């Protein structure tokens, strides 16, 4: 069997609106421009909006995989030619948010053949600690938790990590601090979260990078164009680029782990 080479990354946050979708999209874009095929999977099931950020309106979505015999590669929507694809989710489908393990297994079983074509599988998860979010996060090789300096964002992401570590025995996380005013706010935000984890949960999440507050981000959202394409020289774009480089290094160091299988063994013990 061909060894797996896809790195699965989930992008999560306790609190909503902290920048997950923007980060997933732009990290994906960076990696694609670096020559690595990327699949961007909208896992904010039920309230999907990656399509909005991309300004695209795909005809099919993951729901079609569950309802019909649509082949998986027909659901993948090309954002850029040769290697930047997007897997849309349905909006306004509450059943998807409450997906049970049978349905989840069915979904991934259908998608599995598709995933091998990519170097990166980026999963943009919904906010909160729903069973679906937890199950998806526990599956991926890498978990990136996005926080902002706001106290509510800190407590919510802490709660998320606590649930994942106590319920799913997942204890490795990377942190991105988004929308900090300056480097010192960025560092103090990360430090606060990291020391709380260390003290109460017994593990230290790793700092992946910071993305500064930048008005080019909302501007790109309005233009429905990735920031990396719309304003590649903006400060936020440079921050995201550094993070992408760092992830590529991490991927190299994990090659042996990944080669065995695309997801972690955590998939089997997901409880509802």
Partner 1 sequence: MISCFIYMQKRLHNIRTEGLENLTAELDQLRQLIVSHAQSAPIDMADQQLALTRLVPGLTMESWNKLSERFGLSDWLALDLDNSTYFNLANLQKIIEDLTHKSERDPLTGLYNKQAFEHKLSMELQRVERSNGQLSLAIIDLDDFKNVNDTYGHACGDEVIRTLADMLDASTRGYDHAARVGGEEFALLLPGAGPLRAKALMDRLCSMFADTLIKCSEAAIQCTFSAGVASLKGRSKATGKELFEVADKALYQAKNAGKNRVRVTRQLVEFEYDRSTMVHSNEKQFLFSGSK
Ligand X SMILES: Nc1ncnc2c1ncn2[C@@H]1O[C@H](COP(=O)(O)OP(=O)(O)OP(=O)(O)O)[C@@H](O)[C@H]1O
Binding site for partner 1 (CB under 8 A): 98, 100, 102-103, 105-106, 109, 131, 151, 154-155, 158-159, 162-163, 166-167, 188, 191-193, 195-196, 199-200, 271-272
Residue 10 CB-density burial (10 A; 0-12 exposed, 13-18 middle, 19+ buried): buried
Residues 29-48 that bind ligand X (CB under 6 A): 44
How many of the chain's residues bind Mg ion (CB under 5 A)?
Answer: 2
- Reduce the secondary structure of 74-137 to three states and give it as a string: HHCEEEECCCEEEECCCECCHHHHCCCHHHHHHHHHHHHHHHCCCCEEEEEECCCCCHHHHHHH
Beta strand 174-180 with 142-147 is parallel
Nearest residue (CB) to Mg ion, 20 versus 141: 20
What is the closest distance, in whole angstroms, from the C-beta atom of residue 54 to partner 1 in the complex?
Answer: 31
Select from ligand X, Mg ion, partner 1, none the partner in contact with residue 200, using the beta carbon and a kind-dependent cut-off of 5 to 8 Å.
partner 1
19 binds ligand X (CB under 6 A): yes
26 binds Mg ion (CB under 5 A): no
18 binds ligand X (CB under 6 A): yes
Q: How far apart are the first and last CA of the chain?
A: 32
Nearest residue (CB) to ligand X, 64 versus 179: 179
Using CB under 6 A, pick the residue from 10, 20, 149, 190 that binds ligand X.
Answer: 20
209 binds ligand X (CB under 6 A): no
Question: What pairs with residue 147 in β-bridges?
Answer: 177
Residues 230, 248: Cα–Cα separation, whole Å: 23
Residues 113, 97: Cα–Cα separation, whole Å: 24
Binding site for ligand X (CB under 6 A): 13, 16-22, 44, 127, 178-179, 211, 213-214, 217-218, 221, 236
């Amino acid at each position: 069997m061909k060894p797996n080479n896809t790195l699965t990354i989930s992008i999560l946050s306790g609190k909503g609106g902290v920048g997950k979708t923007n980060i997933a999209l732009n990290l994906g874009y960076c990696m694609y421009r670096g020559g690595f095929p990327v699949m961007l999977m909208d896992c904010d099931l039920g309230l999907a909006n990656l399509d909005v950020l991309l300004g695209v309106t795909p005809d099919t979505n993951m729901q079609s995989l569950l309802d019909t015999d649509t082949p998986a590669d027909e659901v993948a929507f090309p954002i850029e030619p040769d290697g930047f694809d997007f897997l849309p989710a349905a909006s306004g489908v509450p059943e998807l948010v409450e997906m049970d393990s049978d349905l989840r297994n069915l979904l991934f079983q259908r998608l599995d053949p598709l995933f091998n074509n990519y170097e990166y599988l980026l999963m943009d998860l919904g906010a909160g600690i729903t069973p679906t979010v937890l199950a998806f996060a526990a599956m991926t090789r890498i978990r990136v938790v996005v926080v902002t300096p706001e106290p509510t964002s800190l407590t919510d992401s802490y709660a998320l990590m606590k649930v994942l570590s106590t319920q799913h025995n997942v204890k490795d996380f990377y942190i991105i601090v988004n929308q900090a005013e300056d480097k010192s706010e960025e560092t103090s935000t990360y430090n606060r979260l990291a020391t709380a984890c260390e003290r109460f949960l017994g593990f230290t999440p790793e700092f992946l990078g910071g993305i500064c507050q930048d008005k080019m981000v909302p501007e790109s959202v309005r233009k429905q164009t990735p920031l990396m394409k719309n304003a590649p020289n903006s400060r936020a774009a440079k921050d995201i680029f550094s993070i992408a480089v760092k992830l590529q290094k991490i991927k190299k160091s994990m090659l042996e782990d990944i080669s065995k299988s695309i997801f972690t063994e955590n998939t089997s013990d997901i409880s509802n």
